[in-house]
Chain A
Amino acid sequence: MTVFQQYGLLVAFFISTVGLVATLHLIARSLGRNRHEPGKDVPYTGGTLAPKPVWVRYHFHYYGFALLFLAFDMEMAFMYPWAVVYRELGIAALLDMGVFLAILFLGILYGWSQGALRRQ
Chain B
Amino acid sequence: MEPGCSATTVREVREAPGGWRGLVARAMARSLTTFVVPDARMAREAGIDLAAAGLQPVATPRHASVLLVIGDVPPGLADAVTVVYAQMPRPRTVLALGTQMTGLLPAANITVPLNQKGLERGVAQVRARISSQPEASADDVFTAQVLDAADDDDGGMDKGEMHHHEGNDGEHGDEDDDATNPHAGHDMDDSAIDDGDGSMDHGDMDHDMMGGGGMSMVSMTQDLPRSPDGLPMEWSEVAFGPLFPGLPAGLASTLTLDGDTVVDALSSGAMDRAILSSLPGPVASFPDRLVAVDPLAPVAYRILAMKALANVNGASIFPPANVPWVAACERERAASHLGWLAGFGELLGYDWMAAQAAALHLALVRAPDISSIKAIRPDVDRFLRDMSRNPMLRLRLAGIGTLDPGSEASGPVARGSGKRGDARNDDHSSVEAGFYPIVQDAGDVLARFRVRLAEISLSLDMVAGAETLSLPDLSVQADFRGTGWAVVETPRGSATLQIDVQDGHVRTAHVDAPSAVHAKLVSQVVDQAELADALIGIASLDLSPWEMDG
* Chain A directly contacts chain B within the complex, with at least one CB pair under 8 Å: yes
Which residues of A come within 8 Å of B, CB atoms? 31-32, 35, 37-42, 44-61, 119-120
Judge whether A39 and B261 touch: CB under 8 Å: no
* Neighbouring A residues of B82 by C-beta, 8 Å: 39
Interface of A is mostly: loop
Interface pair A38/B166, CB less than 8 Å apart: no
In the complex, what residues of B have CB within 8 A of residue A52's CB?
Answer: 155-156, 159
User: B435 interface residue, CB < 8 Å from A?
Assistant: no
Q: Among the listed A32, A45, A60, which residue makes an inter-chain contact with B259, where contact means beta carbons less than 8 Å apart?
A: A60
Partner of B61, one of A31, A38, A41, A44: A44
**Chain A residues within 8 Å of B165, by CB:** 56-57
Residue of A44, A46, A51 with highest tally of chain B CB at under 10 A:
A46
Is B239 located at the chain interface by the 8 A CB criterion? Answer: yes
CB-based contact B148/A46 at 8 Å = no
Give every chain B residue within 8 A of A41 (Cβ-Cβ): 150
Residues of A within 8 A of B149 (CB): 49
Contact A59 B258 (CB under 8 A): yes
* Contact between chains at B242 and A47 (CB < 8 Å): yes
Given known contacts A39-B147, A42-B150, A59-B259, is B138 in contact with A48 (CB within 8 Å)? no
Which residues of B have CB within 8 Å of A119? 530
By a CB distance below 8 angstroms, the chain B residues around A31 are 20-21, 24, 134-135
Contact B86 A46 (CB under 8 A): no
Q: How far is it, in angstroms, between the C-alpha of A52 and the C-alpha of B158 when the chains are bound?
A: 9
Most B C-beta atoms less than 10 A away, residue of A44, A45, A54, A61: A44
Roughly how many angstroms separate A12 CA and B276 CA in the complex, as a whole number?
Answer: 69
Question: Are B229's CB and A120's CB within 8 A?
Answer: yes
Beta-carbon contact of B239 and A48 below 8 Å = yes
Q: Which residues of A contact B150 (CB under 8 A)?
A: 38-39, 41-42, 49
Partner of B235, one of A45, A55, A56: A56
Q: How far is the CA of A54 from the CA of B178 in the complex (A)?
A: 12
Give chain B nearest CB distance to A59 CB in angstroms.
3
Does B87 sit within 8 A of A, measured CB to CB?
yes
Chain A residues contacting B243 (CB-CB under 8 Å) are 46-47
A84 to B151, CA, bound (A): 59
B83 within 8 A of A: yes
Q: B186 near A: Cβ within 8 Å?
A: no
In the docked arrangement, what's the CA distance between A52 and B147, Å? 14
Listed by A's residue number, 27 A-B pairs whose Cβ atoms lie within 8 Å are A31-B24, A32-B135, A39-B82, A39-B83, A39-B86, A39-B150, A40-B87, A44-B60, A45-B238, A45-B239, A47-B81, A47-B84, A47-B242, A48-B239, A49-B147, A53-B166, A53-B169, A55-B166, A55-B169, A55-B178, A56-B162, A56-B235, A57-B181, A57-B224, A58-B181, A58-B234, A61-B259
Q: Hey, which chain A residues are within 8 Å of B181, CB to CB? A: 57-58
User: Complex: how many Å from CA A61 to CA B242?
Assistant: 28
**Which residues of chain B come closer than 8 Å to A45, judged between CB atoms?**
238-241
**Contact assessment for A56 and B234 in the assembled complex, using a CB-CB cutoff below 8 Å:** yes
Q: How far is the CB of A119 from chain B (nearest CB, A)?
A: 7
